[in-house]
Each structure stands twice: as structure tokens, then as C-alpha cells.
Amino acid sequence: MTPVLLIRHGATAWNAAGRMQGRADIGLSAAGRAEVARWRLPPGWDGARWLVSPLCRARETAALLGAPAARVEPRLIEMDWGAWEGRTAAELRADAAAGLATEEARGLDLRPPGGESPREVQARLGALAAELALDPTPVVAVCHKGVIRAALALATGWDLRTRPPVRLRRDEALALLCSADGRLQLAPPPLPLVA
């Protein structure tokens, strides 16, 4: 099985405001750049292959972590939040027509209007995991919260309707193992990025 370390990008102004970013190509904030500058890979991940989402906040994070030439992997792009992009959960909850509560109750099948479901994110991650498993060299992937949540659900059977089985702080990475059939296995605990 191939070890994979999923790292969420550093903070953006939209993160600070609680806005759903989705596919909006928002760069890191000054605070986000300072935060990532303090991060270091956990022991044992030297020599890993690097992958990165195509969005600039992830690419900037990878560069700050010492991997400016990380391979861009489109399947690591954030979940598409469709019409909800740029809005906060509080705004959506106050707007009954938005249907947030109904969609949240659907768990893996939540689908923002014009967007993508976590189950669809899982499908692209499963295909990527099967490819990564062909080479046992560890992988470090800089991506997004929605991608990490979908991967965690794949690895644990979590249906996104309850609290996550693992709580990740922004300065922690999720370690997984990929198998050739596209399955993911959790390799706990979350690994700190701050030395």
C-alpha cells in the first residue's frame, strides 16, 4: 500500500470570513503565508512524490513547503460548491430557499445547486488512489478541506451526517494508505506540521 499525506492549503481571506471557496481561485492571505512558513513535513516523508490541486492557494502552499514543482493533479481540486460559493453557512441557513439543512441531511449526497457532491469527490479520489498505489513511493498531496473530508469518509465509512471520526486542525495532516483497488485506509493519528 502507498502512504499518502494530505495537507490542507494555508488560510485565505475567505477562510477567515467563513466563506465557501470551492473552485474560486483565491490566494493565501498574509496570515496564511506566515502560517505555512512555520510548517514542516512530519518525519518519514522526505523523498515523497508531491501532488497539488490546480488552485493557487494549494500551489502556493506547496511552494512554501519546498515543492514549487509539485505535479498538478486535477482530481485534488476542491469540491464544486456551485451557487453557494462565496457564501457563509450562516447566510445559507438564514436563506430558507437555499436548502442547506435539507442538503446537509443527505450526507455524501449533499449537492449545492450547480455543484458537486462529496460522493463525486470520492469517485475521483478512488481513481487517483488506485493509480498512486502502483508505485509504493510515499505521496504528499496539498489539497482542500472538502477533498480531505471525502478521503476521510472513504477510509472510515463516515457518512458526513455526524461529527467526523478524526478532527484535523489546520496545522495537521491526514495520513492514509492507498490500495490498488482504490480503497483508502486511515493511518492515524493526524500528523502535526508545526515542529
Alpha carbon distance 37, 10 (integer Å): 9
Work out the pLDDT band at 182, boundaries 50, 70, 90: confident
Catalytic residue, candidates 35, 78, 85, 116: 78
Q: DSSP secondary-structure letter at 141?
A: E
pLDDT in tens, 4-57: 999 999 999 999 999 999 999 999 999 999 999 999 999 999 899 999 999 999
pLDDT in tens, 96-136: 888 898 999 999 999 999 999 999 999 999 999 999 999 99
Supply the pLDDT for residue 136: 95
Answer whether 0.75 is exceeded by the pTM.
Answer: yes
CB atoms within 10 A of CB 59: 21
3-state helix, strand, coil in the chain (%, to 5): 35, 15, 45
First to last CA, the chain: 27
Supply the pLDDT for residue 188: 79
Work out the pLDDT band at 69, boundaries 50, 70, 90: very high
Q: Is 9 a catalytic residue?
A: yes
Q: Which fold has domain 2-16+28-79+116-192?
A: Rossmann fold (3.40.50)
| Mean pLDDT over each residue of the chain, to the nearest integer | 95
Alpha carbon distance 163, 165 (integer Å): 6
